[in-house]
Amino acid sequence: MKKLGLMVCTNSAIDYIEHDIDVRVVRSTILLGDQEYVDYEELTADKFYDKLEEDTSLFPRTSMASTGKMLEFYEDLKAEGCDTILFVTISSNMSGIYDNAVLASKMIDGVDIHVFDSKTVGYIECKMIFTAYEGYKAGKTIDQILEDLRYIRDNNKIYFAVSDLRYLVKNGRLTNAQAIMANVLKIKPLLEINEEGKVVSIEKIRTFKKAVNRVIAKFIDETKDFEVEPFIIHANNPETAEYIKNVVLEKRPEYKTINDYLLTPAVGAHSGPKAITIGYLKIRK
């Protein structure tokens, strides 16, 4: 491997994390009312969530990059001298980006392309890309880098709560049956991203506040026997993020600090405003 080209999808929210690596971001389009916006470039998280809160009748949708657009990224990297390309995508069970990326990889010769299904969304995708870059700089082979990414994929967990289930339901992330039950009973379920990379409801909880506290309790209980990197991801909900940090750090002062990251509009369109997660990555020994 002479030169490694790095790609990640917009769902990683890498734009909101300071970094100095050369990584190409494959962006989705946000459809909001009769307007279309390229994620981050034309609509940032703060403006997106403000729009949703100002007009609750707005219902966002997303459109992923085409196979042809992904092929353009591959061709550009090849032209820049990359003989190997690594593209980390959102879970293939949440979006068709992975399938489109694989299809595009079959349309070009002369470059070794690896499309990696993160089976998650958000910060962990960024962690994978940063880890891949560090491995490349350290002289690792692509197989060694992929092994590092598989460790991250298989050793992280995300629990989350949403303030409004409509977004998950209308975008097909939860079944209608679950939605009807939740709306009738006013339930704010505890959700997780499972090993298959799917969003599933694992507990029924009456209020958003209780769901947040249950997210914290699950995190505290699950991480008591091993060392982790904790993180919070939120849809423009810094107050709840700060609350979670304070509760967790009181019980686990050894963490010192917990970083929090934004959900970019391409993900927030499905979770809705105020959604919040706490997750962890097991530290590799």
State the pTM of this model. 0.94
Q: What is the pLDDT of residue 182?
A: 58
pLDDT digits (tens, 9 = 90+) for 160-180: 998 877 777 666 655 445 655
pLDDT of 83 over the 70 cut: yes
Q: What is the pLDDT of residue 279?
A: 95
Sign of CA dihedral 73, 77, 83, 86: negative
pLDDT of 36 over the 60 cut: yes
Structural domain spans, the chain? 4-28+64-154, 156-282
Give the Cβ contact number of residue 79 at 10 Å. Answer: 9
Place of tokens 């849809």: 235
| Backbone Cα Rg of the chain | 19
Average pLDDT (99-110) is: 97
The answer to which of 62-71, 87-96, 165-174, 222-231 has the lowest mean pLDDT is 165-174
Q: Write down the mean pLDDT value for the chain.
A: 91
Q: Which CATH architecture has domain 156-282?
A: 2-Layer Sandwich (3.30)
- Amino acid identity of 227? E
Q: How confident is the model at residue 272 (pLDDT cuts 50, 70, 90)?
A: confident
Q: What is the pLDDT of residue 125?
A: 98
Sheet holding 276-282, edge to edge: 199-203, 190-193, 156-161, 276-282, 228-234, 259-262
Q: How confident is the model at residue 131 (pLDDT cuts 50, 70, 90)?
A: very high
Which CATH number is correct for 4-28+64-154, 3.40.50.720, 3.40.30.10, 3.90.650.10, 3.40.50.10170? 3.40.50.10170
Measured CA distances, 104 to 1, 5, 37, 64 (Å): 21, 15, 23, 14
